[in-house]
Every structure is written in C-alpha cells, then in structure tokens.
Structure 1
C-alpha cells in the first residue's frame, strides 16, 4: 500500500473568492515526477481553506507525511492541526516550510511535534526528503533542512538555486479536483514566469533569498494561461518579484489578454512590477488598461528618505525618472499607484509628511497606499542584530489582513507584528504618522477634498503639506463633526494597536461584513453623511480666503464629484471651466482656470446597496482612482454655446 501524503496551504476566503494552493501543487508536481516517489506515495488531499479542525481531522486517515506551507495568515492554524495529527498519529512525519519558518531551526525547539523544517525554495529538497523517508536518500545531507539528530538540531545551508524547468501543477492535474469540488468559488490562480529577486530590502522576507532572476519555460507559461482560460478561473496573478523586467513579459501579457477575449477569463491580472519601472512595464500597463484588466501599475518608493533607504538596503528610481513616468502614464490614461511603508527605521513624522508632499507635488494624485511596516521573522529586519541596532519595537496584534470576513467559528487566532517604534520614531510619532496618512489617502486620493487641494496648490495659495496638516488639526479639534467622530474612533483603534488589543482595520455592518483599513473606513463613513460633512468642512475651507465667487463654484464642483451609491443623473451649474482645469491637472498639465459658465452633467451608475458600493468603489476602485466622477463628467457650455466637452 502506498504511503499517504497530505498538503496544507490554507488561507482565508474573501467572500466567494479563494486562492488556488499553488505552492502545494508545485511541490507535489515536482515530487511525483520522480518514479520512486510516484511508486511509493499517494497524494491524498491539498487543504486550501481554513476549516474547523475537527472537520479537518475527519478527512485525514493514516498519514505518512503531512506538509504545511506557512505564512502569517495560517501559522497558528498549521501548528494546531499539526499537533493534533501528531497526537493521533505519532508515527506521522510533520514537515513545515514557507516564509514564516525562521531560518535558524528554532521552530523545532518550540514545537516538538514538527519533524523537519525546509528553508528556501522547496521543490528539490522536498522531493529529496520524500525519497529519504523511503531509504533512497539521506536526510542529514539535504540542503536547506533543519532536523533533530542524535547530537541535536542541525540546520544545513540552503541550496543554490538552479533552473526553473519544473512540471506545472496546473497542466498535470493537481488542481482539477479542487475546481470540481468547489464549482461556486471564484478562484484566483497564481503563476510564475520567473523566480528570484535581485534586491535585498530589509523589510521583505524575499530578501534572504536574494538571487538572480531565472525564467520559467515559455511553453509552460502559455499552457497555464490556457488552463486558466479553459477552466474559466476568475482571476490571475503572477508571483514574480519583478514582472516587466524582460521584453517577453509583453508577449505573456498579450497571451493573458487573448485568454480573456476568448472566454471572459481571467477578468483581471495582478502582479508585482519591476522595481525600476521601465518602458516595458508601461507597454504592459497600456495593454492591460485597454483590455479592462489593469489593477493599477505600481510605482513604489517605500520611503522618500535617503536615511531610510540606506537602512533598508534599497535604491529607488530617481525623482526625475519618476516624474517622467508619471507624465507618461497620466497622458496615456493608465492608472498608477505608489506604495510607501510607514515605520521603517530612520523615518520620522516630518520625513514621512515631506515624502507624501513630494509625491503629490510630482503628480501622484491617483493613489498612494501607505502600509504599516510588518516585522517578518525571515526578513533581514527579523534578525536579532538588526532589531537591536535600529531599536525596532513591535506590537503583536490580531492578523492585519483587511477585506477578509471574520469567521466567528474560527477559534484559532493569527497574529501580525507591526513596527510601532524605532530609533527615529516613538509610539506617539507612529500614531501621528498614521493619522496623517489616513487623511491624505481618504480626502485626497479618494477624492473627498482633492479638488480644493489641487486648486490651492495650483494657485500658489498653500502646499499640499500645509493643507493636509491643517485639515488633520481641524478634524482632531472638532470631534463632534462627521470627520472628527470618525478619526476619534480610528485614534481609539490605534490605542488598541499600541496596547496589543486591536488591529489596523475595523468592521461596519453598513458596508458589509469585511474588515476595512482605516482610510477606506473613513471614506465610507464620510460618504454616508456627505452633505453634513461638506457643511461642516466648509468652515475649514473658508480659512484659505479664496475669492467668494470662485469658492462657491469650487465648493459646488467638489461636493458633486465624489461617487454616490444611489445617484443616476447629476447636473449642476458652475461659472468656471473646472472640468478641463482639473482633468489637465490630473494629467500633469498646468492650466489656467477660465471663467466660462457651463453645466456639468454626469451619467452615474447606481449601486444596489451600500455594501456593493463599498466593495466596488472603496476596495476594488482605489488602485485606479475610481472614487470620483471626474472621468465620466462632461460640460455643456451656456450662453447659447452648445459645444460639449
């Protein structure tokens, strides 16, 4: 009888959506391509969703090996299940691998029920371990393995990565059963077109695996895209660290677009683009935009501070090149977003605010995502010497994973470690940096006050920095207002993070059951009471002493631009050509505001519910700046001039 193998690569579902367990399938496909493995083992099941542990145990029978792929969203679940399996089947071999397995073998000291740890890329070493367990290899000689021996725990150096000519789990049927048994699930498939990363950013747990980029065979990639097409898999992502680095990535993009044209699947494509964004990435973005598959092109900086960049071992593209790229994408109408990480060593409140101000000056009005720095044990930042040198302090909080729906029956908590202090940042600094970042993301990039900020900057009245710092001061000083109440609640949540009793998201039944990051929560709360918000915020806006006629017209324009959940036909009169003025500004073109009476009309799409609005606009729409009507609004000139713009 063949020995039974079980895999665990579990994640939370996102409504009807779930990820195909690519890593587990990849390891299985390579292992079972070996005749000795295939003759001696049988793959019984790949668990990919969190289930009650009793239900999981009912599906496991006389296991020989149970292998767990670990990350922050399943680490405690995996440990709980592994311990239960070991107690019921003490002879079963328990194997842990993945990004959350620390490289020093310490997990074996903590968890007596784990037999082997695998470090780094897993295909070769997992196959060798399977062979060793049937006497065809020697476990102690396998690179990248931690295990117990008679002399104690050993950890072997990781293997030198070779080529990526591995069999495909998709094309070899390893996911067919999952799709057949879950016909109502919208699956996200993950493919690799290349592997490796030339960078060694301290915060990233790919950094310890710095290696040359190796390409997967193009035949495999095309075959997997066709599999996604033919199986009508909902979404497609690439696990590449630098998609767009190679010219052939344009051809791969063409193949993905052809698949969608044929069957409507995949509906979208997501990836991590090359860090030094190039013309190749631009061409890819253009193609995805035209096909309706673009989920936003990343122009990442992580920080605008030279001191921070030195501390984390990262080099950014030059400011001049970033400005050139912004103009290129804006002129082409391709949505971009820029990512920053809050809490990196060397960052201060002043440097973060100055960095955001600089990005706005450079024209990034589409979207900025400001992520809190998460301490990862397998990153350079996870090392003890790094923590001590930069005085890294963390808050251990419930899992920081927005947009998932909490399951009241899931009794196994997962945890995140958020950097809340460094040598350059106190807890109070961390709080203020977060509040400022939420304000900019909510009121600027989600459009609620963006047009006032753009006008004030264009006309030389005040900087973005001055506008948003004074806005935050006003909000915090007026807790009875819509914005004040919302930010008071967010501030209370930040208290909970610092005391390790809460996380960086919250739920609100008005907008569905999912967890919202605070900037999206603030946006939704504001839109929910939008008339009251604008009545209250007008007091703040009048402090900038804009000419009364201009102010009244600009205020009318601003309050009608944010999307509304149930609006259909919108029209309003203004005395200035605000529409062209702001469209040109958002495209990076300096324009003089002309007095020209016109009626602005918007054919809006009404939503069925607040929940649908929240999902489509606040969640899905952020990366392509989809929270205002600026793209679909048009003007009808008055004074007997019927020309439309």
Structure 2
C-alpha cells in the first residue's frame, strides 16, 4: 500500500476504483487534537491484509466549534462507502445532525457509531430503524474490523460481528459483546506505522494502558473495563513518545485513567522530559493523576515541573463526605495524606488543584459547604467543582430511581450533556444554590478576590468559608445590574457551567475585561456586612484588592477605591505596587503563606507587590473569546504562575515595646 494511503490522507480523486473509501470522523472540543481512537481503528483494520487491500482510509478531525454546514459539505464530498463517528457527550447532538443530513446526501453509504455515548444505547440512537446505521458496543478495534470484513463479504451477515447493534428484518439486534483486548500489543501503533504522518495536529493523546482498578459509580472508566488494567509494552510507549516529540507536538495528554499507578510511570515521565530537552517538544503535559498514589504523583509532578512541562498537579477528591465516598464506591486519598501532599507541593512551590463533583449521592448542601471549608482551611491552591454529569454506561446510570436522580439537558446544539439537578439528598433548589456557592468559591478563593479576608473571617470564627461563599452567592443574584452577575445568572440558568470554558470566561471577566466592575461589586458587598466594622477586616479587604492577580501580561492598575487602611506609596510601576501595612496585617499575610518573613517587632512594614508572575501571555484581541477563555482556565489551574509575590521592602520599628 502506498504511504499516502497508509497515512489516511488520500483524496477521493486518487482512490483506486476497486478500493472502497472509509472515512473516520472525530469531532473534538478543540482544534488540532490528534484523533487517537480513529487512529487505533485504522491501524488495527489495516493490519488485516484483505481489508488493507480492499480499502482506503482517511481520518477527518474537526472541532465541534466549526461551521457545521462546511463540515457536512466536506464529509459529503468524500463520498465514502463507510463513515465512522466517535461519539461523546460533548459532540453527540452534532453527530446526530450530521448523520441525518449526510444520510440524505449519501443514502447508499454505511454509518458506524461508536464511543461511550452510544454503546449499549442503540434503542436511542437507532430509533428510526435505519438499515445502514450501526452501533459499536465496547472497544472499537475488533468490532470495526469484523464489521468491515462483513460489509465486504459476498453475503454479509452482521450477526457474526461481535459487539454490534443493528436493525434486521424489523428487529433491533445486539450481538454478543466482543472480549476485551487483553494483549494491547495486538493493536498496531498508529504513531509508528504512518497513520498520523502528514497531519498537522499539535495536541497529542496517548495511552500507555487501558482500564481502571476503581469502580466509581459516576464514572464510565472502571465499569467499562471490569477493573482490569492492561498495558502496552514500555519499549513501544517510548518509541511513541519519541515520535510525538520529534514531530513537534506542543502538548501531550496521557489518556490513562491513573497516571502514576504503575512504578514505571516515574521512568516514563523522566523519558518525556528527556525527549522535550532533546527536541524542544512537547511543551506541556496533561494527565489524570492516580487516585491512591500521592507520594508517587508528587515525584512525577516534580519531574515534569523541573523539566518545564507541568506547573500544576490535579488531585481528584470529588468529595470529602465519608458517606458519599462509600455510596459511590470511591477509594480515595485519606484526608491526612492529602493535607500532607498539599504541604509538600507548597514547599516545592508547585501548584495543585482539587477536583470536586456536585451533587453526588449522599452529599447535602450543608456537607458540600463544609467540605469546601475544610479544603480552604487546608490551603488548597485551587478548588474546581464540576457539575455532576449523568453519563451513559456508568453504574449510577442504572440507579436513577434508587438515588432519586433528577436531570436536565444543558442548552446546546452540539453536546448532549445531561446534568444532575437533584438527588434524594439535594432538591433542585439546593442544587442551584450549590452552583451559586461555586461561583463565589471560584471568584473569592480561586481567583483570590477575598482570599486574605476570607481567611481572617474563618480563623476568627466570624464567618466560615462556606458561609461566606453562600452570602456572596446571594449577593451575586441580587445584582443583575452587573454584567459579571448577569453572566453567572445566564450560565447557571442554561447549565452552561458544565463547560470548562465557562470558568475560563469567568476568569477573563473578573481578572481582566470587567476587573473594575468586579472591584466595585466586592466593595459594595463588604460594606453591607456587620463584620465591616472590624478594622482588621477592612485591612484584609484592601490587601485583597491590591493582590488580586492579573491573568494576562498587562499594566498594573490602582483599584478605584478610597484606601484608608493600607497606604499606597505612589503609583504602581511596571512590576506592581509599593504599599505600607500594619504589623497585624503583615502577620496575617505571613499566616496566609503569602510572605516568608518574620518582622514581628515592626510597627509598619513596607511591601512590594510584584504582579509580573510567570508564563503569562498578553490578551490576544485577534482571537476568539473561547480561545482566550481556554488560556484563562489553564492559568487558574496553575495559580502560582499568575499570583503576585510579596516582598518586604522596609520596616519601621516600634516606638516602644510592651
């Protein structure tokens, strides 16, 4: 077979007449993402000599954000014999629209749907009885190959294809599931055999294993793989990593369920750094961290940080409610281990972010707020709360009635996200209140809008973190005159908060485009509170205004606020502010780990607030809001890259010592 055809880039006009064209379609959330699933299917199918001789393959990977009419035209122009679609929660409505329109334009073609959104749900996605549309249930490689072979047979019999759903003689048929691939080396490497050659992808996705040893009821991964983890051989993984590096991929996503679960992951992490140092790529690494190997993950994170490939470690807690953990069959990091890990990462100045899900079964609004309070008290860098999505093919999906799960579909013409709005423990009203509490958490804590003040109020017993977030949430809802609050109102109403870009847009607004508006909103809120009479609370708030991060590389501005507690020494320079603070505020800042100093004998302290940060990019006005929001989301996850540094410039000794 010619190399051009092996790479999947053959044009329709160059295909040999007696060879049938197969087009594998992937619709990722962002552009330039390497289509790993389709690459595996093509590589596995082409390893069969008869299939390779009788077919040409082409992968089409275009983001869901593109023009759907243009995408439809491109697919129709391929005039393929078989179209395959990788179906996920984020693209399913678009896939269904394309399938309907493409079938009208190419009625003689065959269509194979696969992926976690459609498998075992043929009754939903084949409801119109179409004879030329099929669903693959389970891993795609074996089923796709058997399906292609049957299509080319003299007398095709789809009953012989394992793991397939289809209509036959007016009946919806589902064949016996194909066994999992135990030896992953049976799958040829799409990186090493030319499938991805000639494409211009910049974000690589790789697997080093398949499976998950956990069976969290809200997750598809463990349930789909029966808790068994199968591995690719280490030498192949290294060759693929070298290929990714030599081909100039900017980013690498390790798509394992638990990177760091295996001891070999340490050596592989070091090899990734070696490749980057030798070839200049990749520039950044993403991963899903192992759930129960915090020490190993800290070592791996340090390797990547030292190599300049990672600046933040994810910690997947999901909840700190013990009854909820048991109910969702979640084996978690012990809280004391987590706190120790957090301390270790802080000492090494490595950012981290805790991942939570709301509302899981057993969680109440009160336990949710209490959990956030505990995490804030442990000095978590960033806390990300994901709305719970009700996913197909998870154990929880079969427990809807038993758990009292109520859902609604997010407003979208692209995704098919079913968002949980209630359980036996949470009313719909409680659920939305939790979403609003998360808006407050994200702005006041993650983006440091009231970081110093919230810590002071909690430490003095005035108001806990969770209660402060609830108060701020109520205030947000009372201010529809604010464009920021209107964004919160609309995104909550539409359930747009399930989209990660939503938080990126929040960061863009609060830390840049609507910074002054949000300053005024904060000032109005604190002025209405009973604790505002406390001079220390006012000092803490003024310091928050001055230390709130800039997410882009831009000039530092003095907040439009009448400072009375903190003295500003002139206008900000190109680095930041020079300010004079009291000894009490200085000690509070040291306690919040914003300073490393001890000047307890000083009455007034002069501080330099340096806002330059690390790895900040300027705001790219020529790019879309979505592009900039994606950057902002990433920067919030590695908060230490954007937070200002505080240094003592001078001190003024006490006039007398008691």
Same fold (TM over 0.5): yes
Alignment of 1:170-569 (within 5 A): 170-179=191-200, 187-209=202-224, 210-364=226-380, 366-383=381-398, 386-399=399-412, 413-476=414-477, 486-487=484-485, 489-497=487-495, 503-504=496-497, 516=503, 520=507, 523-524=510-511, 527-540=515-528, 543=531, 545-546=533-534, 548=535, 550-551=536-537, 553-564=539-550, 565-567=554-556, 568-569=574-575
Distance 1:125 1:472 in 2: 50
Distance 1:617 1:65 in 2: 37
User: Structure 1 pair 494/531, CA: closer, same or farther in 2 (3 Å)?
Assistant: closer
1:619 partnered with 2:633: yes
Larger displacement relative to structure 2 (488-497 or 254-263): 488-497
CA deviation string 1:444-482 (max 9, x = no partner) = 1211101112233344544323333344445555666x5
- Compute the displacement of 1:219 (Å): 1.8
CA contact (8 A) 1:617 1:627 kept: no
CA deviation string 1:279-299 (max 9, x = no partner) = 211100111222232252122
Match in the other structure for 1:408? none
User: Structure 1 pair 248/196, CA: closer, same or farther in 2 (3 Å)?
Assistant: same
Match in the other structure for 2:7? none
Match of 1:95 among 112, 115, 125: 112
User: Structure 1 pair 223/362, CA: closer, same or farther in 2 (3 Å)?
Assistant: same
| Alignment TM-score, normalising by the size of structure 2 | 0.83
Larger displacement relative to structure 2 (448-457 or 102-111): 102-111
Cα-Cα RMSD: 3.2
SS in 2 for 1:431: helix
- The aligned length equals 599
- Compute the displacement of 1:253 (Å): 1.0
User: Structure 1 pair 81/479, CA: closer, same or farther in 2 (3 Å)?
Assistant: closer
Structure 2 spans left out of the alignment, 5+ residues: 1-17, 557-573
CA contact (8 A) 2:23 2:84 kept: yes
Distance 1:627 1:448 in 2: 16
SS in 2 for 1:38: helix
Match in the other structure for 1:133? 151
Distance 1:193 1:435 in 2: 39
1:33 partnered with 2:53: no
Distance 2:407 2:595 in 1: 39
CA contact (8 A) 1:581 1:593 kept: no
- Compute the displacement of 1:114 (Å): 4.5
CA deviation string 1:330-369 (max 9, x = no partner) = 22222111111112222221121111112222332x1111
CA contact (8 A) 1:392 1:423 kept: yes
Alignment of 1:3-82 (within 5 A): 3-13=20-30, 17-49=31-63, 50=66, 51=68, 52-61=70-79, 63-82=80-99
